[in-house]
């Protein structure tokens, strides 16, 4: 057992981890690795002798024979992002973005993950409320899959919607181990002629490493209220695996209605998204159908998905752009070109009506209303001068589980004491915020507050965490435990 793996294992299961990793990693920009990496460093490591976890997920209820069988091979590969832009990375099936898995509502899906990486891995099916043992969280729902071995995930494809799958080990998501997962609905509430899935990502031309604060921005003190966040040194922002210098073009015809399925698969980037020359009508959030909302632009954070229908009524050549809310890279870009319009695509002007969460009204039946059975008040903050992110003062893995009971109506009241947005993601459940259902919500910085409610209807141990991968790796997670 390497020193790292032993330490991480101990951190995960005996609660000795905090002192091991708080504040002692080296800064990302120096390219070094700290002496005591947090849970993320599993992606550097191939140790296969860890002890079994103390938690065993509920035995999965057997499902019928699969309707769809796939193999996903996690492997090192050379990926191409544009002319003269190739990169060595870790991806699924040798391609970045990974292959789109497209299934029908209700299908039984069986995916064999084959690990050909030089490291352990898992695959998480982001947003799908599947059985706990299939959730793909290392040390929480399963042992990580060792080199050369495989793990078969089986789940029922429901509810329909726009999802994605990704590695849940360490910082592997930021290497490119991700792909879209579309569950087609039998009876959509919107009309459209064609659809396109669009994956936005931030691109790092080097292996990711945990972040730490090297003092450049004077962070620290005041419980993390001061200063700004550190961000990995991204090379660029990508739409469907392409740099903006090499955009994908959608050839369209006047009069068509296009459904876009937008996925924010970035590790540390909120995107502001807009198509020049057109409004978008938002129809789904995190896969859940909403009453259609016409907007000019929307912002979404890591882990969120938005579907929007665009009516093509303005012939020309147009850019769809996704710009980092905080970050100075060129916006990710996709071109929409009507037949016969060969000119340079026009970039959007920002402004106009931007989608707000309170615009969203779920069309699904919402299973929680009235007074909750259990309430957790949870602050989101940074620990002093170290690059450690906390949920209610505790840094995972040295953090207490949040206990709930099956059948309860649970409420989390989140209050963000830090200056940065945290996209908080709950595994295994959709939650209600206002009149909408979702699985990931941005909690704004500077004392932003969100109250989310869910029904405890999926027994197991589930991760609740910030989907900024660097915050997650620096402690911003809790296990939700059914007791
Ligand atoms: Cu965060």
Tell me the CA–centroid distance for residue 325 and ligand 1, in Å. 14
| Residue 216 φ then ψ, to 5° | -60, -35
Q: Please list the pLDDT of the chain residue by residue as tens digits (483 residues).
A: 333 333 333 333 333 223 333 333 222 222 222 222 234 445 544 443 343 445 678 899 999 999 999 999 999 999 998 888 888 999 999 999 999 999 999 999 999 999 999 999 999 999 999 999 999 999 889 989 999 999 999 999 999 999 999 999 999 999 999 999 999 999 999 999 999 999 999 999 889 988 876 544 333 333 334 446 788 999 999 999 999 999 999 999 999 999 999 999 999 999 999 999 999 999 999 999 999 999 999 999 999 999 999 999 999 999 999 999 999 999 999 999 999 999 999 999 999 999 999 999 999 988 899 999 999 999 999 997 788 999 999 999 889 999 999 999 999 999 999 999 999 999 999 999 999 999 999 999 999 999 999 999 999 999 999 999 999 999 999 999 999
Cβ atoms of 282 and 260 closer than 8 Å = no
pLDDT confidence of residue 25: 28
pLDDT confidence of residue 50: 40
pLDDT confidence of residue 234: 94
pLDDT confidence of residue 54: 57
Q: Which residues line ion ligand 1, judged by CB < 5 Å?
A: 422, 466, 468, 471
In angstroms, what CA-CA distances link 108 with 92, 104, 159, 223, 284? 21, 9, 12, 47, 23
Tell me the CA–centroid distance for residue 421 and ligand 1, in Å. 6
Torsion of CA 206, 208, 212, 215, to 10 degrees: 20
Torsion of CA 341, 347, 352, 357, to 10 degrees: 100
In angstroms, what CA-CA distances link 395 with 35, 39, 40, 299, 378? 18, 11, 14, 28, 13
Tell me the CA–centroid distance for residue 476 and ligand 1, in Å. 7
Q: What is the largest CA-CA distance in the chain?
A: 65
Tell me the CA–centroid distance for residue 295 and ligand 1, in Å. 26
Q: Domains along the chain?
A: 1-185 (2.60.40.420), 201-359 (2.60.40.420), 374-482 (2.60.40.420)
Tell me the CA–centroid distance for residue 177 and ligand 1, in Å. 20
pLDDT confidence of residue 214: 54
Tell me the CA–centroid distance for residue 22 and ligand 1, in Å. 16
Please name the helix (run of DSSP H) or strand (run of DSSP E) that holds residue 416, with its range, or none: strand 409-416
Cβ atoms of 433 and 450 closer than 8 Å = yes
- The DSSP bridge pattern shows strands 150-156 and 108-116 to be antiparallel
Cβ atoms of 202 and 301 closer than 8 Å = no
pLDDT confidence of residue 226: 46
**Could you tell me which of 198, 123, 178, 185 has the C-alpha nearest to residue 157?**
185
Tell me the CA–centroid distance for residue 83 and ligand 1, in Å. 34
pTM: predicted TM-score of the whole model, two decimal places: 0.88
Tell me the CA–centroid distance for residue 33 and ligand 1, in Å. 21
Tell me the CA–centroid distance for residue 373 and ligand 1, in Å. 27
Tell me the CA–centroid distance for residue 176 and ligand 1, in Å. 20
pLDDT confidence of residue 211: 86
């Amino acid at each position: 057992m390497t020193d790292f793996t032993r330490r991480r294992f101990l951190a995960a299961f005996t609660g000795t981890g905090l002192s091991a990793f708080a504040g002692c990693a080296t800064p990302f920009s120096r390219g070094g690795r700290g002496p005591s990496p947090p849970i993320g460093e599993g992606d550097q490591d191939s140790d296969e002798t860890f002890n079994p976890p103390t938690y065993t997920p509920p035995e999965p209820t057997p499902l019928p024979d699969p309707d769809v069988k796939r193999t996903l091979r996690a492997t090192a590969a050379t990926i191409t992002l544009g002319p003269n832009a190739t990169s060595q990375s870790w991806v699924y099936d040798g391609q970045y973005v990974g292959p789109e898995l497209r299934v029908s509502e209700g299908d039984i899906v069986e995916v064999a993950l084959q690990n050909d990486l030089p490291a352990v891995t898992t695959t998480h099916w982001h947003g799908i409320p599947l059985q706990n043992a299939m959730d793909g969280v290392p040390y929480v729902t399963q042992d990580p899959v060792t080199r050369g071995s495989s793990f078969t995930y089986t789940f029922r494809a429901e509810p329909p919607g726009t999802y994605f799958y990704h590695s849940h080990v360490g910082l592997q998501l930021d290497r490119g181990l991700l792909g879209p997962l579309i569950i087609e609905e039998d009876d959509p509430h919107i009309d459209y002629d064609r659809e396109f899935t669009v994956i936005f990502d931030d691109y790092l031309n080097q292996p990711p490493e945990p972040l730490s604060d090297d003092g450049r921005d004077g962070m620290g003190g005041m419980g993390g209220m001061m200063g700004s966040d550190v961000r990995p040194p991204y090379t660029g922002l990508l739409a469907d695996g392409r740099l903006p210098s090499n955009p994908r073009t959608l050839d369209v015809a006047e009069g068509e209605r296009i459904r876009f399925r937008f996925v924010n698969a970035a590790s540390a980037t909120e995107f502001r998204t807009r198509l020049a020359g057109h409004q978008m009508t938002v129809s789904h959030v995190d896969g859940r159908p909403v009453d259609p909302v016409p907007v000019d632009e929307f912002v979404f954070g890591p882990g969120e998905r938005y579907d929007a229908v665009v009516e093509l009524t303005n012939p020309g050549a147009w850019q769809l752009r996704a710009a980092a809310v905080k970050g100075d890279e060129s916006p990710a870009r996709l071109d929409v070109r009507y037949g016969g319009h060969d000119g340079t695509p026009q970039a959007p002007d920002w402004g106009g009506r931007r989608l707000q969460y309170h615009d969203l009204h779920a069309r699904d039946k919402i299973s929680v209303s009235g007074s909750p059975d259990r309430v957790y008040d949870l602050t989101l903050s940074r620990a002093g001068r170290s690059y450690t992110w906390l949920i209610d003062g505790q840094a995972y893995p040295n953090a207490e589980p949040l206990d709930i009971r099956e059948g309860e109506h649970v409420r989390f009241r989140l209050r963000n004491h830090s200056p940065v947005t945290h996209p908080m993601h709950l595994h295994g459940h959709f939650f209600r915020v206002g009149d909408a259902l979702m699985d990931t919500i941005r909690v704004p910085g500077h004392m932003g507050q969100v109250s989310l409610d869910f029904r405890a209807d999926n027994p197991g141990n589930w991760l609740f965490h910030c989907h900024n991968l660097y915050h997650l790796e620096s402690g911003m997670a809790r296990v939700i435990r059914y007791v």
